[in-house]
Each structure stands twice: as C-alpha cells, then as structure tokens.
Amino acid sequence: MTALTDMADLTIEDGIAIITIDNPPVNALSQGVRQGIKDGVEQCLADDAVQAVVLICAGRTFIAGADITEFGGPPKEPGLHATLDDMENASKPIIAAIHGTALGGGLETALCCHFRVCDAGARFGLPEVNLGLLPGAGGTQRLPRVVGAEKALQMMTSGAQIGADEALENGLVEDIVDGELRAGAIAFARKIIDENIPLTKIRDREEKLQSARDNPTLFNDFRSHIARKTRGFLAPEYNIQCIEAAVNLPFDEGMAVERKLFMELMSGPQSAAQQYFFFAERQAAKIPDVPADTPEIPINKVGVIGAGTMGGGISMNMANVGIPVEIIETQQEALDRGLGVIRMNYANTAAKGRISAEDVETRCNLINGSLDMYNLADCDLIIEAVFENMELKKEIFQKLDSIAKPGAILASNTSALDINEIASVTRRPESVIGLHFFSPANVMKLLEIVRGDVTGKDVIKSCMSFAKRIRKTAVLVGVCPGFVGNRILFPRQTQAQALILEGALPHEVDKVLFDFGLPMGAFQMSDLAGLDIGWNRETSNSETIRDVLCEAGRRGQKTGAGYYDYDEKRNPSPSSRVEQIILQFSEKAGIERREISEDEMLERCIYPMINEGAKILEEGIAIRASDIDVTWVYGYGWPVYRGGPMHYADSIGLDAIVATMRKYQEQTGDDFWEPAPLMVRLAEEGKGFKDL
C-alpha cells in the first residue's frame, strides 16, 4: 500500500489498482482527497501493470460532497474539475465502488468514473440545492444524461436521495454487489477487462435527453409544480436552468452555464445563509456541559397524556419509528376521537402513496389507548400534553411521581409554562424536562427541549438522542416564559397590533411578512391558532381588538372568522367588519392613522424579534445564536435562505439595527425599543452574533 496523501492511498492487486479515500467523518472532497485521486490516477495510467482502477472509500460512506468548510476560502489546487477531467479522460477503466451516501461532489466524482457499482444500502443524491447551490462539478450536465431530465429535475430541486435499486433501474449504477463491496468491485473490474468492454464517457451520451427534447412544456410544468414549495429560493430555479442547458446545448456550453450560475449562487446571500444553517443545525446537537459519553436512559416505551391534537401528533412520531406508545385520556369519548384522528391521518398519508396500508396497521397497533394512568408504570418516557394550565399540570405530575418507574423521564409539552415549578411537585425534579413539540407535532421538525434548574444530564442526553431517533431537530433551551421560540414571537405580535392601530390593516402587515418569506403573517397565525387561546369570556371587557373579535364569535379559522373572513375552504379574505373595529379602536385611543411603509412594517415586526433573541442570549436561555435560528427555521418556517433571525441581523449589521431601534424609541418614547445591551456592545465593537 502506498500513501498518496494523508487522505488517500493506493494498492495494486493482480493488475487492479485500488484508490482508497479516508477522510472522516464523511470523506468530503478536501484538498488532500482531490490530490490523492489526481496523483493516484496519474500513477495508475503510468504503470503498465495496472489494467483498471477501483475508487472506494474507507469508513461509513462514499464521498458525501465537496468540503463545505473550504467554501469561501482561497482555492486550493488541484481543483475538482481538473481532477474529474483526468478521471473521465483516463484510458484505463475507473470503477466507483459506492457505499453509504454518494452526495453532491461525491456523486459527481462517481459520474466521472466509467462504471459504478454499489452495495445494497448505498444512496445517491445531489443535495446542493439545500445549501443554496447547484452541483458545480458537471453534475447538472451528467445526471440528466444518465437518468433523464425529469428524474434529474426531481432529484436536483429537492436534494432527495435515491436508493441502490432505484439507481440500478435508472442506470446510475451498473451493478449492486452482493457481499463485500471491495471484492465485488474488483471482480467487476476484471470482468470489464476480460470482456474488453469499451469505456464510455457520460458527457458523450445523449439518448436519455431525447424525451425532454420532445416535451417542450416539461420545464415550465415542473416550475409550476414546485412553485409553492420553493417560493423565494433562487437555487431550485438555477438548477432547472442548468438541466435545460443540458437538454438544449452541447455538453461544454452546458458546463459553461453551470459554472456561471454556480458562481452566482455561491457569491450570493442565500447560499451563505443556507451553508451557515447546515452547520447551525449540527451545532445545536452539541451541549457544552453534557459530553457525548454521558450515559443514556434507554427509551423503549413512551407514555403520552392527552389524546388531543398535540398528544395525537406526538404519539405518531413514536409509532412512525416503531416505538410503542400508551396514550392516556380521562374520557372514553375523547380517547376514541383522538385514536380515530390518528388512524385518519395515517390513512390520508397512505392514500397519497407515502406509506402502505400495512404501515397504517403496524403504526396504529403500536398505539394503545387507555383511561388508566397506572398503565404508564412501565414507560421509560412520559410526555404530558394537556392544555396550558399550571394547576392541572402540577396535579398530573404529582400523580405521575407516584406511578412512573424510577428513572423514567417525565416531560411536559408546555409551550410557555415554568418547568421548574412543574418539577417542584415531584420528588424527582432531576427527571423532569420540557419537550415542546410544534403543531402539527407529527410534521414540524423542531423539538424545543427545556432543561430545568436541576434536570439531570442523563435526561438531557437521552432526550437529545431520542429527538434524533424520532427524526426531529432538537434545540436545548432554558426556562423562561415562552422559552426561545414563543418568547421571540411575543414582541412581534405586540408590534403587529401597534401597526394596525397606527394605520396598517392586518392583511397589509401579513403580506409584508409573507413576502419576507415566512409561511404566514402575524394575523393569519393568530387566526390559525385560535384567538381565544388565553382569552376568558367572563373577564373579557372589550379592552382589546382581540376581546371584541372573540366576543363577536370571531375566534379564528375554526369559527370561519377572525382577523379575516374565511370561506368553506378556509381561504382568507380581508374583513370590512374587522377594519371598522380597528378604526374605532384607533379613534378611541386618539391615534391619527397614517400610511405606513412596508419597510417600517418589516423593521417593526422583525427587529424586536432580534432584540429579544439578544436578551435570550444574554440570559443564557439559548446556548448560541445559531440555536435561536434553528428554532425559528424549523419551528416557525423562517425562510432558511435568510438563515434565521440572528443570521439575518448579522447580514444587515447590528449597528444598523441598533440605530433603527433607537430611532423608533425616540419617535415613540417607548422603552420597548431599548436595544439589548449585548446587541449594543457587539454593534460598538463592529461585531455580529456570529462572533460570540
């Protein structure tokens, strides 16, 4: 064995050279990998004893892409293009032997080999779109030549992976190896030599492009198909343009289009935000005072208290990954209703072809309902998901304390209440934690994990791992009203209310937030949640616009009216009645209504969120600014191409935000606008949240 670089080596066995990449954790195409491949290929071509080359990877995966940590730095030779050209132009067959995931630049590398074999677990994808990019090493031109334009469109605009069988079906691999991959790939190489199979380059293949050439509406139909999902994102459209170039232009001209659009994306703010978010998401899993080797509590059975919307959705997460769940309700009728909704949700998913009818049964069978809390005695984790009432929650936790087995994790799904207070009624506060799921709980990716003052590290570690197991992204936060996500929402709602009193209308404020990239505006969100959350009919005295709306029966989407009017399909339209109510409120408050610019609406909704984020950091409620961003992207649909509120703040500049807040403070005389000391300090030092 010869070391090519510290990330690659070369072995020759009976005329077959094996280049092995070893660059943990994911064999990214770092400089040493590129150099290793380039030098290895050169040596193999110069060595008459070598008849064919196998490119394989050590560790858990084939090459998972370019090394993202090298992006933005000075280019390091050799470049990926030159390395791949050498491979594609080699006069001896090169065979990629793929296990794990061949992603991005990794798949592009494989596409420049003459043949590809894989093991049965291998997966393939071009996920650059998730980084705000497009495949920049020929993938946009080669993938459509192998799998056809339509499949390439699906894969490249979604970043979705395909498995080995689908790859074989689509011609992306020539063979799936039974048994050991290395031996299988060597045997495949021998066959190529023995049968003298000619070397073809994917760049020269045209046959799979023909059906797209015969279908002039393919691209625009596809654009309309993904429009809603990709609203605001640049990269999906640029990926489409590259595939159009692959179909309509000669290979080299297509490559030139790819280069130009890749560079444009790479130097733009969206990709910067999405690359930042890639690492932010992975950072969130790291808890400084909870080391990776902290022991974990095995979780084999979960209890859920409450079969309502939240309890049902939470239970589905466990059933989806094969964990048995015991749901507890107080009334048979509520239990039956809850279990019925779960079954219906699964049936709907099956009707869309996403799971099989058998999956529906398996998952429903994993969920057992009962009226007896004592059935929770053998659960390893119990999640309380009843409505937000501290007294009720305390009562439940007191009871749980006497029922749950020693060491069981006792969690509350509260979205705002004090976990320490809940824990205080038990004799084991170290076992108590907040697991705040977001609605719909079976869909939203975020799990806000709330540590109390004395929550055990083993409990935290177990919940972080559990989140990954149920395919959630967890963010660990401390106790304060609303935790991180909802606490940041509060000041935005305050300003949204102020804006409608001063001159804007709900749909105008909402439009600004929607155009910014959020899935919905402040008032649409209130209508969806229900205006009567926390509203009390007995004490309501028409003091706020919300009071008046609730008193009039306008309690949001569920009643067909709230800030908006709704049709039977729940489509909103601005309400003249609500406008009247708002105008009356302005008059009563002596406010002379004025035209408010979209810029002002945006600043007044977003900057207070950033300011609250700064306070949260100062208080140590969030571990890092990027955790706040992960919370808002995965919990509230903040557009990932803007990174999250804290990244967005950095992209504007904290000095500009502080200055704008002071301007509003001066104009209104309201201390609401006082910038957080942390933000002021960073602004004065010319720094951003990223520098903390």
Closer CB to ligand 3H9, 109 or 462, in the complex? 109
The nearest distance, CB 68 to ligand 3H9, in angstroms, is: 4
Q: Is 66 in the site for ligand 3H9 (CB under 6 A)?
A: yes
Helix (H) or strand (E) holding 161, with range, is none
Residue of 42, 70, 77, 128 marked active site: 128
Per DSSP, which regions of 454-593 are E strands? 473-477, 564-566, 572-574
The nearest distance, CB 295 to ligand 3H9, in angstroms, is: 21
Closer CB to ligand 3H9, 75 or 179, in the complex? 75
Closer CB to ligand 3H9, 133 or 422, in the complex? 133
Among 390, 435, 429, residue whose Cα is nearest residue 412: 435
Crossing angle (nearest 10°) for helices 645-652 and 598-618: 110
* Among residues 191, 231, 282, 577, the one that binds ligand 3H9 under rule CB under 6 A: 282
- According to DSSP H, which parts of 367-484 are helical? 390-403, 419-423, 457-469
Closer CB to ligand 3H9, 81 or 343, in the complex? 81
Residue of 108, 326, 329, 603 marked active site: 108
Q: How far apart are CA 166 and CA 186, in angstroms?
A: 23
DSSP class of residue 561 equals B
Closer CB to ligand 3H9, 516 or 634, in the complex? 634
The nearest distance, CB 228 to ligand 3H9, in angstroms, is: 24
Site for ligand 3H9 in 99-158 (CB under 6 A): 101, 103-105, 108, 127-128, 131, 135-137, 139
The nearest distance, CB 111 to ligand 3H9, in angstroms, is: 11
- According to DSSP H, which parts of 47-131 are helical? 80-88, 105-111
The nearest distance, CB 28 to ligand 3H9, in angstroms, is: 4
Residues 650-686 as b or e (16 or more Cβ within 10 Å = b): beeebbebbebbeebeeeeeeeebebbebbbebbeee
For the chain, counts of helices (H) and of strands (E): 28, 20
* Among residues 10, 17, 28, 476, the one that binds ligand 3H9 under rule CB under 6 A: 28
The nearest distance, CB 139 to ligand 3H9, in angstroms, is: 6
Q: Is 310 in the site for ligand 3H9 (CB under 6 A)?
A: no
Q: How far apart are CA 689 and CA 667, in angstroms?
A: 27
Closer CB to ligand 3H9, 343 or 445, in the complex? 445
* Among residues 44, 80, 272, 297, the one that binds ligand 3H9 under rule CB under 6 A: 80
What are the residues facing 564 on neighbouring strands? 574
> In sequence order, which residues have a C-beta less than 8 Å from that of residue 78 and are 6 or more positions away?
34, 35, 38
The nearest distance, CB 101 to ligand 3H9, in angstroms, is: 5
DSSP reduced 3-state for 285: coil
Residues 446-475 as b or e (16 or more Cβ within 10 Å = b): bbbbbbbeebbebbbbbbbebbeebebbbb
Among 5, 30, 164, residue whose Cα is nearest residue 105: 30
Catalytic: 128? yes
Stretch that binds ligand 3H9, among 67-75, 164-172, 184-192, 301-309 (CB under 6 A): 67-75
Closer CB to ligand 3H9, 203 or 428, in the complex? 203
Active site residues: 108, 128
Residues contributing to the site for ligand 3H9 (CB under 6 A)? 25-26, 28, 61, 64-69, 80, 101, 103-105, 108, 127-128, 131, 135-137, 139, 279, 282
